[in-house]
Amino acid sequence: MPRVIYNTATTLDGYIADDVDSLSWLFVVPGADAAESDFGGFMDTIGALVMGSTTYEWLLRHEDMVAHPEKWPYGDRLAVVLSSRDLPAIPTARLRFHSGAITEIWDALRAAAGERDVWVVGGGDVVGQFADAGLLDEVRVSVAPVTLGSGRPLLPRRLESDRLRLESVRQAGQFAELVYSVRKGG
């Protein structure tokens, strides 16, 4: 059974994007390229992914994906976008839009992942839905030396220490990567 992994970067004060959904703070951190060097290895373990509409719309704008579908970074993996709105599809991307509960789409994600894992790309509320449903297995966070003061929270749910177990810590450039396993239940 595939694991569900939330892998993201966050600021020191716990935000994954600023108040206008910008990631500009992330791209200016010295050594960010070194921190991403292991990303290809991570992607090799991923069979399907899921993201919210804000994350998807950021990809559309940031990379002009509709006009340049060749920039789609996830290959032929199934990507489920959670949204209650109609959004443009990226030509050639294997996309599925879903407006219901994540439990309704779980079987399709699990089947698409096969022997590999499911990556919750973002945002925080999407990962919170997986945590609420008891489907979240791992939180992998790269903490950047940046504070924003406000923005989109890393995980807008309460998960206490009885559910999180620190598995590893490592330095990647200016980032500290923390990996936590998540105990099921609440």
Query: Tens of pLDDT along 133-155?
Result: 999 999 999 999 999 999 999 99
Closest to 20 (Cα-Cα) out of 151, 181, 186, 158? 151
C-beta of residue 142 within 8 angstroms of C-beta of residue 176: yes
| CA gap 107, 90 in Å, rounded | 23
Q: Residue 173: left (phi > 0), alpha (psi -120 to 50), or beta?
A: left
Quick one: average pLDDT of 161-181?
95
* Domains, in order of start, for the chain: 4-182 (3.40.430.10)
Distance between first and last Cα of the chain:
21
Query: What is the reported pTM?
Result: 0.93
DSSP state of 63: H
C-alpha angle 92-138-161 in degrees, rounded to nearest 5: 150
